[in-house]
Amino acid sequence: MEKGTVKWFNGAKGYGFISRQGGEDVFVHHKSIVGEGYKNLNEGDQVKFEVENGPKGLQASNVSVIS
């Protein structure tokens, strides 16, 4: 698991980017956020996640907000 900060997330479109603590920013899709119902992230949220290769490059999976 890696940790990072939400750079931006567009709730209407359901995607955004996470700044990693030692690597390039990664794409995040709302389907990759852990939880039930409406899934959203806010700019500046601290998150933990896994990185995998997606169709357009690196993307985050199993994303959860660190409380």
- Write down the domain spans for the chain: 2-65
pLDDT confidence band for 7 (50 / 70 / 90)? very high
pLDDT, residue 67, reads 81
Tell me the average pLDDT across 14-43. Answer: 93
Q: Work out the average pLDDT over 6-13.
A: 96
* Range 31-55 average pLDDT: 93
Please indicate, yes or no, whether the overall pTM of this predicted structure exceeds 0.85. Answer: yes
Distances (CA, A) of 17 to 5, 6, 24, 33: 9, 6, 10, 12
For the domain covering 2-65, report its CATH number. Answer: 2.40.50.140
pLDDT at 23 exceeding the cut of 90? no
